[in-house]
Amino acid sequence: MANLLDLIGRIMISAIFLFSGINKILNYDGTVGWMEGFGVPGLLLIPAIIIEILFPVLIIIGYQVKIAASGLLLFSMLTAFIFHFDFSNQMQVIAFLKNIGLAGGMLFLVINGAKEFSIEKKKKYVRL
C-alpha cells in the first residue's frame, strides 16, 4: 500500500508542473510577455517548457527520479525568487510559498528516489 501511495504522491506533485508546461505552450506569446516583464528573456521559455513537461513525466514513470526532482527543485526555487518575490502582494506571497513547498517535496524525492512502481525499481537477486 505504501508503494502505491508513493506513486500517487509522485503523480500529485508532478501534475502542477506538467499542466503548467502545457499551459505555457497554449499561451506562448502571453507567457513570453509576462517573463520579459520581469527582465527574463523570452527565449528561456522553451527550456522552461521542456523542464516542466519532461521532468514530471520522468518522476511519474519513475526513471531518473533523483535527477528530475533536482531539476524541478532548482526550477521551483528560481521561479519563486524571480517571479514571486513581491511580498507586498498577498497572492505573490502565496505563489512564492507554493514554489518553496514544491521544492521541499522535490527534496524528498531527491533524497528517497522512487520506490516501487517505477522503471528504476532495483531487482533483488537471491543467491542460493
Residue extents of the structural domains in the chain: 2-112
pTM: 0.89
Judge whether residue 120 has pLDDT over 90: no
Say what the pLDDT of residue 122 is. 62
* 39-85 per-position pLDDT tens digit: 999 999 999 999 999 999 999 999 999 999 999 999 999 999 999 99
Angle, to 10 degrees, between the axis of helix 2-26 and the axis of helix 65-83?
Answer: 50
